[in-house]
Structure 1
Amino acid sequence: MSVALFTLGGTIGMAGRSTAGVTRLTGAELAAAVPGLAELGCPVEVQDIEAVPSANLTLAGMLDVVDAASKAISNGATGIVVLQGSDTLEETTFLVDQVWPHSNPFVLTGAMRNPTLAGPDGPANLLAAARVACSPAARDLGALVVFNDQIHAARWVRKTHSTSTATFASPNTGPIGHLVEDQVRILTRPARQDGVHGRATPEDLDANKVALYTVTLDDDGLLLEGLADKYQGLVVAGYGVGHVPAALAPVLAELAQRIPVVLTSRTGGGSVLRNTYSSVGSESDLLQRGLIDAGFLDPYKSRILLRLLLATNEGPDEITAAFAQHH
């Protein structure tokens, strides 16, 4: 039994600033500073991949991490831990969840307080993530976020606060488990979804761009003009249950004739509805005009899913079916 630990950078490894820039700790240095990790009974094998803020991570780069993690599983690792910045953690976790083919746990974590501050949360998060990664109870759950002694499923987890160590939450469901007295307690086991089949290459991803458009008050829609000439897909973050101003409805309908257009809610919780409202620009009107219902999936994860589907050459029926899993 062993845990393969991959480091990508982020707050968890920031050890101060100098004239040369930010000083970053290696994975071995981070692991050595965690009380109890060496006694876990599950050796940690470290691979330093990146040392960057998570804003600089890419889909193609994360797919490479998944490939390296799969190789580690083939070589006998029990589970995977990835350390990265928290800013994009909800998106990278969902990306991993869509393509991770193994039953072994794939756990992502990080920190909100760097090691130079009082009460850094990185060591506790790393230890908790390692416990989950080597726990039989965490198998067959796909990719997970472990933060603040909570275990979150990839499809629901969100970063909800800019600075709090309790930033990660799952608004629609709550965490699926907790760390209690050093034990992994899984409270509910959501069924794994089909995921995205096939491997998107960097060239495929570059050729399939997906825009995210958030609807706002008194929206004129000018940013939508010519969008289908530059992007191969669009995610719309509408008001509430999936509404837009009436003037945008025909614009989105025209776009949906050219590229897949996915309808989500900008609220951060709850589902897009299907047939409660019927005015122009309502959810039922937009779905009748050809938009795709994302259900409970939030705008950021919807963009990840749509881009992966396009990059693996899925057609309209397959795209609709993939989003239907989130209704």
Structure 2
Amino acid sequence: MPKRGKIALVVAGGQIGLKRDEETGRQPSVNGETMLSWLPESLTENVVLVDWSHQPSSHYSIRMTTDLIQILNKLVVDGIDGIVVSSGTDTLEEMAYLTDLLWAYPQPVIFTAATLPYDLAGTDAVINLTQALNAASSQKCWGLGVMICLQDQLFAAAEITEETNHRRNAFISPDRGPVGEIIGEDIHILRVYKRGKILEGNLVPARNVELIYANLGGGEILVKILSETTDKDLDGLVIAGFGDGAVPPSWIPFLRKIIRDDIPVVITSRCFMGRTRQFFAYEGSLNKLLELGAYDGGNLRPLQARLKLAAGLGAGLKGPDLQKYLYNG
């Protein structure tokens, strides 16, 4: 059993552990021991290694992320004081956000990643891993929930998004900025993000929650196919609507059927920094969708709404309780 004062490094794949193979290209073949060898012994002597997975993050699912969260829970129960998860950038914001929805402990969980593999010039792998371990070791990060450590900064899991895929400053918190920064080995907390309702217990989020974007004259075929599924195949649906949350009117008959089949439908805005608004009353508007029985996703980004709906359904929430959790939780 790990002793108090230990920090865990949980390896969850991603570009941070890629290595060049001349025949096959870059493959996730760097193990956790190798990653720790990049760092000074003074930093790693109190690190407990959990070499969990070396898959690309695009291979993960809600269920696999739930398995990861259960591992993190057990580490804290066994006495770990902070956790770093090294993962891929493709689903970093989703994995961190789902973890934050379910993380009830004060011990910090710090996700980190790299936009360049460790053996390329200009890589950010070593500095990001170093700073993440320093953050997880700091009492200043206790009680702040799940954070992401990248490029000398700490971001709240609920605020971060990937703006670009090819630069080292790929992640941002739109209109908010980081919650902390790292200068040398010093951690500076700039502000405290107010977390919403934490769903405690070993709940299993719903697996089959789909997401579809409203687009110019499109999507009808996809919505029709979804309307022909049953609640055994489809647990919920999130729609990234135009502007305030509108959809093409041709979608309405199919959405009506989905809702009547007791499958929750959540409406969000597809705008980068948008939110839903009950402003119009034409066919396909948010007002009409809510009249059908859809849920209002408020200022949740579509990817967040999908995960929050999955978590809420896993906790058995429905009706007004589910709406309150989605909108205010």
- Corresponding residue number in structure 1 for 2:16: 12
Task: Kindly indicate whether residue 11 of structure 2 is the aligned counterpart of residue 31 of structure 1.
Answer: no
Residue pair 2:211, 2:239 contacting (<8 A) in 1 also: yes
**Which residue is 1:227 aligned to?**
226
Question: Alpha carbons of 1:313 and 1:180: their partners in 2 closer, same or farther (altered >3 Å)?
Answer: same
Identity of counterpart residues, as a percentage? 29
Contact 1:263/1:292 (8 A) holds in 2:
yes
In structure 2, distance between residues paired with 1:2 and 1:23: 26
| Post-superposition offset of 1:38 | 3.0
Q: Which deviates more, 118-127 or 288-297? A: 288-297
Distance 2:219 2:15 in 1: 38
1:49 Cα deviation after fit? 0.5
The partner residue of 1:283 within 286, 298, 308 is 286
Summarize the Cα distance change of 1:89–1:148 in structure 2 as closer, same or farther, 3 Å threshold.
same
Q: Distance in 2 between matches of 1:69 and 1:127?
A: 20
- AA partner of residue 13 (structure 2): G
User: Counterpart in 2 of 1:262?
Assistant: 266
Give 1:182 deviation, angstroms.
Answer: 2.6
Aligned partner of 1:284: which letter?
Answer: N
SS in 2 for 1:262: strand
Q: Separation in 1 of the partners of 2:300 and 2:31?
A: 35
Q: CA deviation at 1:175?
A: 1.6
Residues 106 and 23 of structure 1: CA distance in aligned 2, closer, same or farther (over 3 Å)? closer
- Within 5 Å, give how 1:123-202 maps onto structure 2: 123-201=126-204
**Map of 2:275 onto structure 1:** 271
Describe the shift of the 1:235–1:138 C-alpha distance in structure 2 as closer, same or farther (beyond 3 A): same
Deviations 1:222-274 (A, max 9, x none): 2111414241210001112212223324432332232110011112213222x
Residues of 2 paired with 1:284 and 1:42: CA distance? 58
Checking the alignment, whether the CA contact within 8 Å between 1:156 and 1:172 is kept in structure 2 is no
Distance 1:220 1:76 in 2: 49
The TM-score with structure 2 as length reference comes to 0.90
Find the aligned partners of 1:107 and 1:247 in 2 and give their Cα distance. Answer: 44
Deviations 1:134-154 (A, max 9, x none): 111111111111111121111
Using the TM superposition, give the Cα deviation of residue 19 of structure 1 relative to its aligned residue in structure 2, in angstroms.
4.5
Residue pair 2:15, 2:28 contacting (<8 A) in 1 also: no
Q: State the 1:295 CA deviation.
A: 1.4
Aligned equivalents of 1:44 and 1:322: distance in 2? 36
Q: Distance in 2 between matches of 1:267 and 1:38?
A: 46
- Write the letter of the residue equivalent to 1:223: L
CA contact under 8 A between 1:86 and 1:112: conserved in structure 2? yes
* Partner Cα separation in structure 2 for residue 28 and residue 168 of structure 1: 27
Which residue does the alignment assign to 1:111?
A: 114
Does 2:95 align with 1:92? yes
1:213 and 2:212 aligned: yes
> Runs of 5+ in structure 2 lacking a partner?
none
Residue 68 (structure 1) shift: 1.9
Question: Structure 1 CA distance, aligned partners of 2:82 and 2:193?
Answer: 19
Moved more, 311-320 or 38-47: 38-47
Detail structure 1 runs of 4+ shifted over 6 Å in the superposition: none
Counterparts of 2:65 and 2:28, CA distance in 1: 23
* 2-structure distance, mates of 1:49, 1:64: 10
Q: Distance in 2 between matches of 1:63 and 1:182?
A: 32
Q: 1:64 aligned to 53, 64, 67, which one?
A: 67
Aligned to 1:119, the other structure's residue is in SS state coil
Task: Name 1:323's counterpart in structure 2.
Answer: 326
Query: What's the CA shift string for 1:106-129, capped at 9, x where partnerless?
Result: 111110000121011011111111
Q: Distance in 2 between matches of 1:134 and 1:227?
A: 46
- Whole-angstrom distance in 2 between the partners of 1:296 and 1:43: 40
Deviations 1:172-193 (A, max 9, x none): 4222121123321111112222
TM-score by length of 1: 0.90
Counterpart in the other structure of 1:305: 308
